[in-house]
Structure 1
Amino acid sequence: MSYELIAVLMFSSMMLMLLTGQRVFAAIGFVAVVASLSLWGTGGAEIPFSAAMKLMKWYPLLTLPLFIFMGYMLSESGIAEDLYKMFHVWMGPLNGGLAIGTIGLMVMISAMNGLSVAGMAIGASIALPELLRRGYDKIMVTGVVQAGSSLGILVPPSVVLVLYGMIARQPVGQLWLAGVFPGLLMAAMFIIYIAVRCHLQPQLGPALSEEERNVPLKDKLKLLRAGVLPLVIFFAMTGLFIMGVTSLVESSAVGAVSATLAAIYKKRLNRQVIENTLRKTLAISCMFMWIILAALCFGAVFDGVGAVKAIESLFIDQWQLSPWEVLILMQLSYIVMGTFLDDTAMLVIVAPLYIPLVGALDFNLIWYGVLYTITCQIAYMTPPFGYNLFLMRAMAPPEISLTDIYRSVIPFALIMVFALAIVMAFPQIALWLPEQVYQR
C-alpha cells in the first residue's frame, strides 16, 4: 500500500468517525494510534508519544486556563451586564444605537474572554431581549448578536489563536497582535452597516424615546465608569505585554488576578461565582487539552507517512495551481467544514495538511493564522449547519425562528467575506502591529 493511500485512508477514517458522532479528540487520537501501531508496530507508539511530550513541555500552554478563567470570572460576576447598561444609555438616542452598542459590548467581551460561545451567551441573554423590547427588527438584531460574538475568536486574547500557535509552533503574542486590526476593521464594518441601514430604514432600529433619553449627566457619568474597569483589566493584561513588562504567561496571570480583584471590588465575589467559574474553566480547558493532544499525535503520524509532501505535489506539480489558488481552495474548504464542525475541530483536522503547505508556499504563518480565524468566523455563520446558528437557536426567544436566524446572518457573512478579501490583499493590516512591537 502506497503512503498516499495510507494518508487518504487515515483522513477518511477520521472523517467517518466524526460523522458518526464520536468526540473529536477520540476520533482523531484513535485513528492516529491505530495507524501508528499498524505501520511501525509497538515502536510506532514513540511518534505520538513524542508529540504529546512536546506539548506538555510548551510553557505558553499555561495561558489557556488562565485566560478562560479570566473570561468566566468577568461574565459570572456581572461586569459584562454593567457594560451593556453603559452602552444602552450613551448610544440609545441614535437610530440603531443599541445595536451599535451591542457590537461595542461584544468587542469588549472579546477582549476579556477570547471565546465566541461566551459572547453569544452574553449577547443572547442580555442584549437580545432588550433590543426586541425596544422595537428593533428581530432579524437584524439576531444577526448583530451572532456577528458580534464571532469577534471573540479574533480579538486578543483569542483562545483559538492560542490553539493555532500551539499546533503551528508560532508565537502566540505575535498572533494576538496580528488579530487586533483585522478584528477592529470587522467591528467597524459591522457598525457602519448598522448605522447606514438604520438611517435609511429607521423602523429597523428606533432611537430611545425622549423620556428615556433624559438621563441626568451625573447618572450617565456613573454608568460610564462601568466601562473603565474592563479597560483597566485589558490594559493591565495586554498593555503590559506589548510594552515588554510581562511575558505572555505572566500577562495571562495578570488578567486572571485582575478579573478576580474586579469582582471583589464590585462586591460580587461569592462561593457561587467561584464555583461556576472554576467548573467552566476546568471543563473548557480539559476539552481543549485533549483535542490539542490528539491533533499533535495525528499530525506526527500523518507527516510521518509523507502525506504533506503528497498533497503539495498534487496541488503544485500535478494540478499546477498557483500559490494563491491553493490558498483560496484552503479557505473554501474551511467554510464547507464549518457547516458541521467547530473551529477547534477544523483546525486539528486540517492542520497537519495545511500549515506545512502554507509554509512551503512561502506564505507568512502569522498572517495565515488570522485568515484561518476569519474564515472560521464566516463558517460559523454559514447555513445550513453553521455552529453559531444552532447556538443562537438554542438561546433565542421563541418568536425568533430558524428561518429568521438564517436570514439574519446573510449581510454580516458577506461583510466578513469582504473583510477576509481585504486582509488577504493587504497582509500588513495583520502584520504591521506585531512587526512594530517585536522589532522594538
Structure 2
Amino acid sequence: MSYEAIALTMFASMMVMLFTGQRVFAAIGAVAVASAVLLWGGGGFELAFSSAMKLMRWYPLLTLPLFIYMGYMMSESGIADDLYEMFHVWSGGLRGGLAVGTIGLMVAISAMNGLSVAGMAIGATIAMPELLRRGYDKIMVTGVIQAGSSLGILVPPSVVLVLYGMIARAPVGQLWLAGAIPGLMMAGMFIAYIVIRCRLQPELAPAMPAEERAKITRADKLRSLRAGIWPLLIFFSMTGLFVMGYTSLVESSAVGAVAATLAALVKRRLSFRVLEATVRKTLGISCMFMWIILAALCFGAVFDGLGAVRALESLFTEKLGLGPWEILILMQLTYLIMGTFLDDTAMLVIVAPLFVPLVASLGFDLVWYGVLYTITCQVAYMTPPFGYNLFLMRAMAPPGIDIHDIYRSIVPFVGVMILALVLVMVFPQIALWLPGLVYGN
C-alpha cells in the first residue's frame, strides 16, 4: 500500500471513530497507535510513549491549568456579575447599550479565561435574562452572546493558541500578542454593527427608561466602577508584567491565578464551595486538553514518519499547480467545512500535522497563521448545521428561543468575522505588529 493510501485510510478510520461518538482523544489516539504498530511493529508503541514524554517536558503547558483556574475563580466568585452590572449602569442609556456592554463583558471574560465556553455560560446566565427582560429582540440577543463568547479563543490568554503553539512549535507569548489586536478589532466591529443596527431599527434594543436612568446617580456610577478595578488589576498583573518583561509566560499565569484568588478573598467570596467548584472544573478541562494534545502529538508523529506532509505539498504545488495564497485559502475553507461538525481542538489535531508544516514551507509566518486559524475557528463555531456555539446556546437558551432563532441570529456576526479574517489576511501587520514591537522581530 502506498503512503498516500495509508494516510487516507488513517483519516477515514479516524472519522469513522469520531462519528461513532467516541471521545476525540480516544478516537485520534487509537488510530495513531494502531497505525504505528501495523506500520513499524512493536516499536510503534514507543511513539505514544515518546509523545507523552514530550508533552510532560513542554514547560509552557503549565500555563493551561493556571489560566483556566483564574477564569473559573473569577466566574464562581461572582466578580464577573459585578463587571456586567458596571456595563449595565454606564451603557444602559444608549440604544443597544446593554448589548454593547455584553460585548465588553465578553472581552473581559476572554482576558481572564481563554475559553469560549466560559463566556457563553456567563452570557447566557447573566446577560441574556436581563436583555430579554428589557425588551431586546431575542434573535439579536442570542447573536450577541454567541459572537461575544467566540472572542475567548482569540483574546489572550487564549487556550486554543496555547494548543496551536504546542503543535506548531510556535512561541505562545508571540501568539497571544498576535491575537490581541485582531480580537479587540473584532470586538469593535461587533459593537459598531450593534450600534448602527439599533439606530436603524430602534425596536430591536430599547434604551433604559428615562425614569430608571434618573435613579442612577453620579455616585452610583462611580461606585460601579469599582467592579472593573479587580479584573483590570488582575489582567495588568498577568499580561502587563509579561509584556514589560518582568515575568515569564508561566510566571504570568501563576500571578494571574494568585491575583484572582486574592481578589475573591478581599471581596469575601472565597468560600469552600467556590474553591471546590473552581478546582474541580479546572481539573476536568485541563485533563481533557492534555489528553487531546497527547493524541495530537502521536498522530502527527505517524504522519511525519509516513512523509504525508511532503506528499501533500507535492500534490498542491506540483500536480495541481496552485500558488501559495490559493493553497492558504483552500486550507481555510477546509477548516470552515470541518467546523460544521467538529470543535476547534479536534480540527487542530486532525489537520495541523498536515497544514502547519505546509504553511511554513510556503513561506508564511506561523504566528500569523495561528491567528488566521483561530478566527476561522470562530466562524466555524457559529456555522450551521453543527456549529459548536449553536448547540451550546441551544442548551442554555430559555424555552422561547428555538434552534431556528439561533441559526438566524448568527448570520450578520459571521459576516463581520469573515470581514475581520479577510482584513488580517490582507494586512498581516494587524496581527504581527504587537509581537514585533515587544520581541523586536
| TM-score, length of structure 2 as denominator length | 0.99
Aligned to 1:290: 291
- Shift, 1:216, TM fit: 1.1
Cα distance in 2 for partners of 1:149, 1:68 equals 15
Aligned to 1:410: 411
Aligned to 1:28: 28
Aligned to 1:46: 46
- Shift, 1:219, TM fit: 1.1
* Alignment check: 8 A CA contact 1:48 1:301 kept: no
Aligned to 1:228: 229
Amino acid of the structure 2 residue aligned with 1:319: L
Amino acid of the structure 1 residue aligned with 2:112: M
Cα distance in 1 for partners of 2:43, 2:195 equals 62
Aligned to 1:240: 241
Aligned to 2:205: 205
Per-residue CA deviation, residues 245-299 of structure 1 (Å, 9 max, x unaligned), is 0000000000000000000011000010000000000000000000000000010
Cα distance in 2 for partners of 1:9, 1:320 equals 25
Aligned to 2:70: 70
Cα distance in 2 for partners of 1:168, 1:246 equals 24
* Percent pairwise identity: 76
Aligned to 1:18: 18
Per-residue CA deviation, residues 310-333 of structure 1 (Å, 9 max, x unaligned), is 111111111111111111111111
Aligned to 2:281: 280
Per-residue CA deviation, residues 36-84 of structure 1 (Å, 9 max, x unaligned), is 1111111122233222211111111100000000000000000000011
Structure 1 unmatched runs, 5+:
none
Per-residue CA deviation, residues 90-128 of structure 1 (Å, 9 max, x unaligned), is 000001000000000100010001000000000000001
* Alignment check: 8 A CA contact 2:198 2:205 kept: yes
Aligned to 2:185: 185
- Secondary structure of the structure 2 residue equivalent to 1:246: coil
Cα distance in 1 for partners of 2:84, 2:44 equals 54
* Alignment check: 8 A CA contact 1:167 1:296 kept: yes
Cα distance in 1 for partners of 2:3, 2:198 equals 57
1:388 aligns with 2:396: no
Per-residue CA deviation, residues 138-176 of structure 1 (Å, 9 max, x unaligned), is 101110000000000000000000010111111100000
Aligned to 1:93: 93
Aligned to 2:142: 142
- Secondary structure of the structure 1 residue equivalent to 2:208: coil
Cα distance in 1 for partners of 2:386, 2:54 equals 35
Amino acid of the structure 2 residue aligned with 1:242: V
Cα distance in 2 for partners of 1:125, 1:220 equals 23
Aligned to 1:301: 302
- Shift, 1:401, TM fit: 1.0
- Shift, 1:200, TM fit: 1.1
Aligned to 2:357: 356
* Alignment check: 8 A CA contact 1:160 1:344 kept: yes
Q: Which deviates further from its counterpart, 197-206 or 244-253?
A: 197-206
- RMSD of aligned residue pairs (Cα, Å): 0.8
* Alignment check: 8 A CA contact 1:137 1:205 kept: yes
Cα distance in 2 for partners of 1:331, 1:24 equals 21
* Alignment check: 8 A CA contact 1:4 1:310 kept: yes
Aligned to 1:326: 327
* Alignment check: 8 A CA contact 1:74 1:259 kept: yes
Amino acid of the structure 2 residue aligned with 1:76: E
* Alignment check: 8 A CA contact 2:175 2:367 kept: yes
- Secondary structure of the structure 1 residue equivalent to 2:212: helix
Aligned to 1:252: 253
Aligned to 2:105: 105
Structure 2 unmatched runs, 5+:
none
Cα distance in 2 for partners of 1:11, 1:389 equals 26
Aligned to 1:194: 194
Aligned to 1:172: 172
Cα distance in 2 for partners of 1:212, 1:150 equals 32
Amino acid of the structure 2 residue aligned with 1:400: I
* Alignment check: 8 A CA contact 2:33 2:47 kept: no
Cα distance in 2 for partners of 1:416, 1:409 equals 10
Per-residue CA deviation, residues 23-43 of structure 1 (Å, 9 max, x unaligned), is 100011101111111111111
- Secondary structure of the structure 2 residue equivalent to 1:309: helix
- Shift, 1:178, TM fit: 0.1
* Alignment check: 8 A CA contact 1:241 1:248 kept: yes
- Secondary structure of the structure 2 residue equivalent to 1:14: helix
Aligned to 2:133: 133
* Alignment check: 8 A CA contact 1:338 1:382 kept: yes
